[in-house]
């Protein structure tokens, strides 16, 4: 082909492609607008019914009207219904679930769990979780090993929403799996299982895999499993994984049992990793044990910022004794102005005391 | 008569320029295709993105939002109010007033009832401008911290913010940016989805000119009224939204805008924060993170998410635009020079072998080739080195192809986020796509070349003397006779005062 031919072809191709894309933009916009307008029109009356149910109105006629909506109308309003399902609680949630069930949503979702399209599988898992279908426990546990990471995450979240303690082990197992689910997602789901999961979580503290032990330790604190204190204490003392020990320290703070004082104080020793010392200092504040005041006061002049900072904030939480220790540390700067460690401790103390005064001031403003 | 060798040289050069344009435009096309695939992937997963779960989870990582501000009096209050209203479980907003000479701080103090508080600030990253005081709201429980410091530039302000930050994630935001309410949840999502590997995540910047802003929120998106920002809307769409999404898709993202990006704080501290001596400090940080993590053979991800939007005002005058583009290209030049050992170095994987060579060829050198095309093709035509048919092919490849890319980008936007919903906006976008290729491109090429020249010349940046002491800075409101008489710390700090100089304690 000659250059002239090439030029003509190039220009012609450009023109055609430009026209095609121009048409796509205009056509796409026109179709989208028309569809949106039609959906809005279809959904308006049904949305009113949904909002009434969400507001606690369980009038059987309204429920029946939703159940009998044509598929076209239901499709238009379904995104709103799903959004409401995730937000409402109590009676309204039960009524809404009933509407979904009677429209065959659970059956449809179950049939889509094995679709080739990962988005279809994830949507199905989401629906089953929203409906709280306990009979979906096993298929959802299977999805925890799905090749698609998004499907695994949705399955884990849904298991949390269903709230059956039988999901504890499968959820924990995903943390060490080749097809893993992020720790935060698993821990949040486990937290929603509540105290029923406590036994399995306790047993998981002996698991050889560190991520499982760390998450189990974390969740035990979040669900307030006071009975697990002794076992968590031993994890703090002796677990070979730093992550597990940090989670254990945090959990002991959350549980607030006095027996945790000794292992937490032991974790403050200078030869312990900084992250552990910082977490232990924080946990001692949550524990509220006045006897920790002297150890925390020493930490005020720690060279690690986060350790000293947490110690100062924890002293505040110990009440009068802690504040007295902070005030004393602040005043030490006046008697030993050349000692930089004393100055640093005094600075942390001053910062914490000022924050406390502000909090007190704000509390006084609340009627 | 023009010598034959000159004609031959011009012929060869013009063929080279034509080939270059063909390649660069094709590379944009590839990036757009990659971005489109990513958008499809993203849009299909929005219904089960789990933002609500993230919002409610007690385990969601808290974020420190860093807002460097210099003479932002006009919009700072509205901006901070909008940031405090962001939807995220636990976060703090740290405004770093970098020695403003206007009443930026006073406006904040009045609005939020700020009071000075003592504070120990770890010297985690290097800073130059000394912190003068730290302030928090006296009565409102807003998670707001305002740091006043000596002027040291944006980099210094951000590094100061990193030092002050209490949370494991830090989000850098421009003081004049307007964030979508869900922006923080969305941009932090990669840290929830892949907490071990994700180290940084960038959000998209769009042009705020022409949009209606109410109480720090964009309530009506529309095209700007002036043509200059209109062209930038199309440019941002193609280059930033689609280009960066494309690079992110293949794990080669080199730029996260300092106007909206979120990073792991511990890693920022590990790499020494932002570089004071580089103008493109945000992009340099990302390249340095790649370098650091690749050297340590760590498995990591630096990603770009297209959904959360930070709206920024684009330059509406040629003068400001020229300054911006010179600065940007000077930044790119400095970054590529500083990290030249990474280029074509297999040790840095696709960053060294693909992304950086691409930036050298199609970002760094693009303005030179662009200007060469403007001059040498007409010259070649004039001296008979090329004929009219060649010139026609050149126009088709260099400008027609580019125009087509803009149309494709607009199509992708229309089928994905479709933020501009008026028909008039659409017509303006198409016209801006045409205009970009005639005048705008050539002007920006000239400014970019000037920026590159400035970097080659190596004019020193005036940033002042850096101090890296390894100390923690202890900020204490000045002592007055009243404070020794037993006044409370809050009362002591009621009037903003400058911290005592050189009060350091060893870290």
Q: What is the pLDDT of residues A158-176, one digit of tens each?
A: 999 999 999 999 999 999 8
Task: List the single residue in A10, A358, A361 with the smallest CB-CB distance to B393.
Answer: A10
Q: Check: CB of residue B120 under 8 Å from CB of residue A310.
A: no
Q: Check: CB of residue A85 under 8 Å from CB of residue A97.
A: yes
B52 contacts A86? CB cut-off 8 A: yes
pLDDT of residue A63: 83
**A-proximal residues of B, 21-50, CB under 8 Å:** 44-45, 47-48, 50
Q: Which of A49-53, B380-384, B480-484 has the lowest mean pLDDT?
A: B480-484
Which of A11, A14, A89, A365 would you mutate first to test chain B, the one with the most B CBs within 10 A? Answer: A14
pLDDT of residue B472: 53
Task: List the single residue in A14, A87, A303 with the smallest CB-CB distance to B507.
Answer: A303
Task: Quickly state the pLDDT bin for B473 (edges 50, 70, 90).
Answer: low
| CB atoms inside a 10 Å sphere around CB A142 | 13
pLDDT of residue B478: 53
Task: Quickly state the pLDDT bin for B494 (edges 50, 70, 90).
Answer: very low
Arithmetic mean of pLDDT, B486-491: 41
Task: Quickly state the pLDDT bin for B214 (edges 50, 70, 90).
Answer: confident
Arithmetic mean of pLDDT, A333-345: 87
Arithmetic mean of pLDDT, B195-205: 92
Q: Which of A285-289, B316-320, B500-504 has the lowest mean pLDDT?
A: B500-504
In the predicted structure, residue B480 carries a pLDDT above the cut 70? no
A354 contacts B490? CB cut-off 8 A: yes
* Paired strand residues for B504: B473
pLDDT of residue A250: 96
CA A99 to chain CA mean position, Å: 28
**ipTM score:** 0.89
Q: What is the pLDDT of residues A85-115, one digit of tens each?
A: 877 888 888 888 888 888 888 888 889 999 9
Arithmetic mean of pLDDT, A257-263: 91
Q: What is the pLDDT of residues B391-415, one digit of tens each?
A: 888 888 889 999 999 999 999 999 9
Q: What is the pLDDT of residues B7-18, one digit of tens each?
A: 888 888 888 999
Residue B408 forms contact with A (CB below 8 Å): yes
Q: What is the pLDDT of residues A112-147, one digit of tens each?
A: 999 999 999 999 999 999 888 888 899 999 999 999
B489 contacts A350? CB cut-off 8 A: yes
Task: List the single residue in B58, B122, B401 with the smallest CB-CB distance to A305.
Answer: B122
A24 contacts B411? CB cut-off 8 A: yes
Which residue in A has a C-alpha nearest to residue B47's C-alpha? A123
- Cβ pairs A/B, distance under 8 A: 157
| Mean pLDDT over the full length of chain A | 90
pLDDT of residue A61: 83
**A-proximal residues of B, 141-170, CB under 8 Å:** 141
b/e burial code for range B344-357 (CB count within 10 A of at least 16 → b): ebeebeebbbbbbe
Task: List the single residue in B139, B389, B414 with the smallest CB-CB distance to A4.
Answer: B389
A10 contacts B400? CB cut-off 8 A: yes
pLDDT of residue B20: 95
- B-chain CB neighbours of A26 within 8 Å are 426
Query: pTM of the predicted model, to two decimals?
Result: 0.89
Q: Check: CB of residue A193 under 8 Å from CB of residue A164.
A: yes
In the predicted structure, residue B53 carries a pLDDT above the cut 80? yes
pLDDT of residue B464: 38
Which of B39, B41, B45, B269 would you mutate first to test chain A, the one with the most A CBs within 10 A? Answer: B45
A343 contacts B503? CB cut-off 8 A: yes
- A-chain CB neighbours of B381 within 8 Å are none
| Mean pLDDT over the full length of chain B | 87
Residue B117 forms contact with A (CB below 8 Å): yes
- A-chain CB neighbours of B389 within 8 Å are 2-4, 6-7
In the predicted structure, residue B100 carries a pLDDT above the cut 80? yes
The DSSP element (H or E) to which A119 belongs, if any, is helix A118-131
| Separation CA A276–CA A243 (nearest Å) | 9
- B-chain CB neighbours of A82 within 8 Å are 47
Q: What is the pLDDT of residues B293-340, one digit of tens each?
A: 999 999 999 999 987 678 988 999 999 999 999 999 999 999 999 999
| Separation CA B31–CA B239 (nearest Å) | 9
In the predicted structure, residue B461 carries a pLDDT above the cut 60? no
More confident residue, B503 or A241: A241
Residue B404 forms contact with A (CB below 8 Å): yes
End-to-end CA distance of chain A: 86
Residue B495: CB partners within 8 Å, gap ≥ 6?
B116
The DSSP element (H or E) to which B162 belongs, if any, is helix B154-164
Q: What is the pLDDT of residues B423-449, one digit of tens each?
A: 999 999 999 999 999 899 999 999 999
pLDDT of residue B497: 23
Q: Give A26 to chain B, closest Cα distance, Å.
A: 9
Task: List the single residue in B192, B408, B505 with the smallest CB-CB distance to A184.
Answer: B192
Tokens encoding B325: 């583009």
Taking the CA atoms of A282, A218, A235 and B267 in sequence, report the sign of the dihedral they define. Answer: negative
Task: Quickly state the pLDDT bin for B469 (edges 50, 70, 90).
Answer: very low
Q: Give A11 to chain B, closest Cα distance, Å.
A: 6
Residue B3 forms contact with A (CB below 8 Å): no
Residue B502 forms contact with A (CB below 8 Å): no
- B-chain CB neighbours of A7 within 8 Å are 389-390, 392-393, 396
Q: Give A113 to chain B, closest Cα distance, Å.
A: 15
Task: Quickly state the pLDDT bin for A202 (edges 50, 70, 90).
Answer: very high
Q: Which residue intervals of B213-365 are DSSP H helices?
A: 227-235, 243-249, 265-270, 281-295, 318-338, 349-350, 356-359
In the predicted structure, residue A219 carries a pLDDT above the cut 60? yes
Task: List the single residue in A7, A122, A365 with the smallest CB-CB distance to B393.
Answer: A7
Q: Give B33 to chain A, closest Cα distance, Å.
A: 14
Taking the CA atoms of B160, B161, B166 and B170 in sequence, report the sign of the dihedral they define. Answer: negative
Which residue bears the tokens 């809404």? A96
| Separation CA B133–CA B468 (nearest Å) | 19
Which of B490, B492, B500, B502 would you mutate first to test chain A, the one with the most A CBs within 10 A? Answer: B490
A22 contacts B489? CB cut-off 8 A: no
Q: Give A305 to chain B, closest Cα distance, Å.
A: 6
Q: Check: CB of residue A122 under 8 Å from CB of residue B162.
A: no
pLDDT of residue A272: 94
Which residue in A has a C-alpha nearest to residue B114's C-alpha? A358
- A-chain CB neighbours of B115 within 8 Å are 358
């Amino acid at each position: 082909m000659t250059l002239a031919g090439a030029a003509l072809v190039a220009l012609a191709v450009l023109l055609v492609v430009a026209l095609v894309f121009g048409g796509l933009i205009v056509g796409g916009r026109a179709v989208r607008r028309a569809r949106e307008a039609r959906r809005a029109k279809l959904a308006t009356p049904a949305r009113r019914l949904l909002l009434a149910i969400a507001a606690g109105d369980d009038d059987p006629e309204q429920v029946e009207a939703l159940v009998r909506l044509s598929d076209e109308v239901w499709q238009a309003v379904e995104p709103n219904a799903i959004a409401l399902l995730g937000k409402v609680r109590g009676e309204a949630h039960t009524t809404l679930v009933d509407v979904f069930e009677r429209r065959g949503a659970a059956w449809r979702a179950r049939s889509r769990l094995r679709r080739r399209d990962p988005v279809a599988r994830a949507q199905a898992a989401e629906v089953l979780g929203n409906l709280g279908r306990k009979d979906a426990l096993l298929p959802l546990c299977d999805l925890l090993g799905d090749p698609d990471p998004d499907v695994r995450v949705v399955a884990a979240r849904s298991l949390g929403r269903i709230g059956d303690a039988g999901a504890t082990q499968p959820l924990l197992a995903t943390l060490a799996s080749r097809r893993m689910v992020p720790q935060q997602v698993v821990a949040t789901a486990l937290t929603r299982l509540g105290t029923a999961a406590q036994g399995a979580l306790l047993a998981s503290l002996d698991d050889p895999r560190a991520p499982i032990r760390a998450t189990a330790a974390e969740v035990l604190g979040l669900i307030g499993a006071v009975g697990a204190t002794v076992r968590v204490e031993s994890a703090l003392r002796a677990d070979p994984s730093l992550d597990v020990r940090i989670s254990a320290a945090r959990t002991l703070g959350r549980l607030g049992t006095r027996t945790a004082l000794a292992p937490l104080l032991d974790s403050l020793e200078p030869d312990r990793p900084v992250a552990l010392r910082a977490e232990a200092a924080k946990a001692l504040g949550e524990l509220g044990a006045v006897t920790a005041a002297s150890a925390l006061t020493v930490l005020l002049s720690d060279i690690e910022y986060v350790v000293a900072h947490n110690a100062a904030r924890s002293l505040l939480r110990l009440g009068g004794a802690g504040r007295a220790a902070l005030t004393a540390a602040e005043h030490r700067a006046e008697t030993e102005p050349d000692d930089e460690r004393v100055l640093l401790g005094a600075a942390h103390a001053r910062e914490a005391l000022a924050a406390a005064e502000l909090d007190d001031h704000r509390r006084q403003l609340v009627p | 008569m023009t010598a034959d060798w000159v004609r031959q040289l011009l012929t060869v050069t013009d063929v080279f320029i034509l080939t270059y344009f063909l390649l660069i435009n094709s590379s944009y096309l590839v990036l757009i295709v990659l971005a489109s695939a990513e958008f499809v992937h993203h849009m299909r997963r929005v219904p089960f993105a789990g933002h609500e779960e993230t919002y409610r989870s007690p385990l969601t990582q808290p974020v420190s939002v860093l807002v460097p501000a210099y003479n932002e009096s006009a919009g700072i209050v509205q901006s901070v109010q909008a940031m405090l209203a962001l939807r995220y479980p636990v976060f703090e907003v740290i405004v770093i007033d970098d020695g403003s000479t206007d009443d930026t701080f006073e406006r904040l103090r009045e609005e939020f009832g700020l009071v000075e508080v003592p504070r120990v600030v770890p010297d985690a990253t290097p800073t130059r401008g000394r912190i003068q005081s730290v302030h928090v709201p006296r009565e409102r429980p807003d998670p707001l911290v305002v740091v006043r410091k000596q002027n040291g530039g944006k980099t210094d302000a951000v590094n100061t913010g990193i030092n002050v930050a209490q949370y494991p994630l830090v989000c850098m935001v421009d003081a004049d940016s307007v964030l979508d309410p869900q922006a923080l949840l969305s941009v932090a999502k990669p840290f929830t989805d892949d907490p071990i590997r994700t180290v940084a995540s960038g959000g998209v910047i769009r042009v705020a000119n022409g949009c209606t802003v109410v109480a720090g929120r964009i309530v009506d998106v529309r095209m700007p009224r002036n043509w200059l920002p209109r062209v930038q809307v199309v440019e941002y769409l193609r280059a930033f939204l689609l280009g960066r999404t494309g690079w992110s898709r293949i794990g080669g993202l080199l730029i996260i805008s300092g106007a909206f990006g979120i990073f792991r704080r511990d890693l920022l501290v590990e790499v020494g924060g932002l570089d004071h001596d580089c103008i493109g400090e945000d992009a340099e940080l990302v390249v340095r993170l790649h370098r650091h993590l690749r050297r340590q053979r760590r498995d990591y991800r630096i990603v770009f998410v297209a959904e959360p939007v930070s709206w920024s005002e684009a330059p509406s005058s040629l003068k400001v635009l020229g300054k911006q583009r010179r600065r940007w290209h000077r930044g790119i030049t400095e970054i590529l020079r500083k990290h030249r050992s990474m280029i074509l170095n297999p040790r840095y994987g696709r960053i060294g072998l693909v992304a950086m060579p691409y930036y050298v060829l199609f970002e760094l050198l693009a303005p030179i080739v662009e200007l060469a095309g403007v001059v040498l093709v007409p010259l070649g035509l004039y001296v008979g080195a090329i004929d009219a048919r060649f010139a026609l092919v050149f126009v088709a490849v260099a400008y027609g192809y580019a125009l087509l890319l803009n149309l494709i980008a607009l199509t992708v936007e229309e089928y994905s986020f479709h933020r501009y919903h008026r028909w008039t906006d659409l017509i303006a976008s198409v016209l801006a796509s045409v205009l970009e290729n005639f005048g705008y491109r050539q002007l920006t090429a000239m400014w970019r070349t000037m920026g590159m020249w400035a970097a080659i010349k190596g004019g020193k940046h005036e940033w002042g003397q850096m101090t890296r002491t390894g100390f923690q800075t202890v900020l204490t409101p000045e002592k007055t006779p009243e404070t020794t008489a037993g006044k409370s710390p809050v009362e002591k700090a009621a009037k903003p005062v400058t911290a005592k100089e050189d009060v350091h304690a060893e870290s």
